[in-house]
Amino acid sequence: MKKIKILALPALAACLFILSWGCDNLNKPMKAKLIPLEDFFRNPEQTAYQISPDGRHYSFLSPYESRLNIFIRQIGKEESTRLTSETDRDIAGYFWANDAQILYLKDQGGDENYRLYGVNIDGTNPVCYTEFEGVRTQIIDDLPDIPGEVIISMNKRNPQVFDPYRLDLNTGEMTMLAENPGNIQAWIFDHDGKLRVAIAITDGVNTSLLYRETEADEWKNVLTTSFKDEVAPFFFTFDNRNIYGTSNLGRDKSAVVEFDIANGQEIRILYEHPEFDISSISYSRKRKVLAAASYTSYKRERYFFDDTTKLLFEKLESRLEGYEIGISAFNKNEDMFIVRTYSDRSLGAYYLYNLNTDELNKIVDVSPWLDENEMAVMNPIQYTSRDGKTIHGYLTLPKGYTLDDAKNLPVVVNPHGGPWYRDSWGFNPEIQFLANRGYAVMQMNFRGSTGYGKAFWESSFKKWGREMQDDITDGTKWLIDQGIADPERIAIYGGSYGGYATLMGLVKEPDLYAAGVDYVGVSNMFTFMKTIPPYWEPLLDMFYEMVGNPQNDSLMLREVSPVFNADKIQAPLFIAQGANDPRVNKDESDQMVEALKARGIEVQYMVKDNEGHGFHNEENRFDFYRAMEQFLAQHMGQEETAAK
């Protein structure tokens, strides 16, 4: 089971550009306590807890010189030891390779070319296994039953494609397991660490499952489908014969299935939900059983295949009442667990649970400086688009307001990135920060957002800046019709695709928004497609079908490119950009700023030279949100709630 979440490129079909992260009212005398900006966006003191395979130690990320580094502590002891000393960039992710060594990933200045590093748990033998310029390393399989090896992939041979390698952690020797012919987007290994399944893009828009019985056999194509149809292998059955995964073949929603991989046939449906896609499934490696399936309604839900897992969660939920829980890590014997709590108003805490003694001990609160009683409630909402689609979303109101009494509030409309992604319920520091400053914040899962089925996703194809944008506009107008939003005090803010939606919102609805904040957003559909990372290029035909072809759809793409419509923008705009962004090139923001300035439109521009797609360094986050706070306050009449 993977413990690290730096995903392989096949993620294009799911999400392209995801970022990761009061006003006084005469009818409402209560005002929230003004919380320092830094408290929302500072690095956590301790986070990302993992546990060693033998259950003797746990590890975590904690700041060292303002960067998240790896620390380790023996269970039952008070002292911690810092294993890494990175000062230029946070560690992006890490995991235990075995009882004696931890592996981690880190990029350079936000370029997303992650390198794999290792360090012993006593701090000795620090090593970089993949020190190659311009090469991205990805983790395929951590091989928990083979302590001295891991499976990685790299685009070292060809920047456009990723080849799988078996890495010997003791010698650093890498063995290429297969040469990617150029169309393989994912590799799947069985429980013995043997490479037996691959997912290929056959002609740019069709997806094929490739299979071989042993590593000595030739690959054979067992199933080809349109990329719109999903067969997503998760892992082999425990006899290494079939595959457990999700599939929407012949149905709208993705279900958990058992798949006869040798013959390319779905054997049986194990679980499906009538309204939502299944997003993940988990299993017990020790007991060799399926554990649970997860899906997202307005918040994360689980279906349990296994009574033992169900009873474990029921026991933990009864003892951690009022919080959502997740098991973020466990040891090899599956009797020691790291438990994480959270809610919409709290980043929660980490706990250590011992199954044998039934002891549950708190390790640490993630952000003890934030009082959840001062945070705002995240309300699930829904409205109907102009063409009859149900759009789900969330409305966070300043503390003290309810959906019944919220009237005439300043609002920040916050479309998500992706765009093939979705917002979900939980603690979001951006949302809580804006609510603390007196803004209602609206998030909507416009058409194309994931988790709502195939038809809803496909309804976004070639709809950038069109119906997708209309869904955002319809949500904004719904807030006005409900009397919640003050029509004169509505801003729009988003990152990545959300930044693009911000620009298009100002283009299409020049009188609706008082201001806009574009964070690493696309402005020119033509230049954007020319500057994508090289490993996205094999998927361009798919992208053309989903977004538009620069030649065949040139008129449409020009119409939905904000830079060519800058003359329609009237509201003041703040743009922020990372200089090393590999997904949305800095030129996207440069040309938008130039076009606006040429037309006399007020534009504030922030560029960070040591950042990529979103600001990860703590001091840069502080700068961005401080500038955004002042910008919104200036144009939304909120000067009295902005930190001076």
User: Known catalytic residues?
Assistant: 496, 581, 613
What percent helix, strand, coil does the chain show, rounded to 5?
20, 35, 45
Print the SS3 string covering 232-291.
EEEEECCCCCCEEEEECCCCCCCEEEEEECCCCEEEEEEECCCCCCEEEEEEECCCCEEE
- What is residue 129's DSSP assignment? S
C-alpha dihedral (282, 285, 290, 295), degrees to nearest 10? 0
* Burial class of residue 26 in the structure, from the number of CB atoms within 10 Å of its CB (0-12 exposed, 13-18 middle, 19+ buried): exposed
CA angle 230, 234, 236 (to 5 degrees): 120
Yes or no: say if 548 and 559 are a contact pair by the CB < 8 Å rule.
no
- Let me know: does 514 contact 488? Beta carbons within 8 Å: yes
Separation CA 104–CA 549 (nearest Å): 38
- Read out DSSP for 190-225? -TTS-EEEEEEESSSSEEEEEE-SSTTSPPEEEEEE
- Distance (Å, whole) CA 180 – CA 155: 10
- Which tokens sit at 271? 């679980």
Are 168 and 177 a contacting pair, CB within 8 Å? Answer: no
Asked whether the beta carbons of 244 and 283 are under 8 A apart, the reply is yes
Whose CA is closest to 599, among 635, 576, 572?
572
Cα 280 from chain centroid (whole Å): 14
Q: Give the C-alpha separation, 573 to 343, whole Å.
A: 33
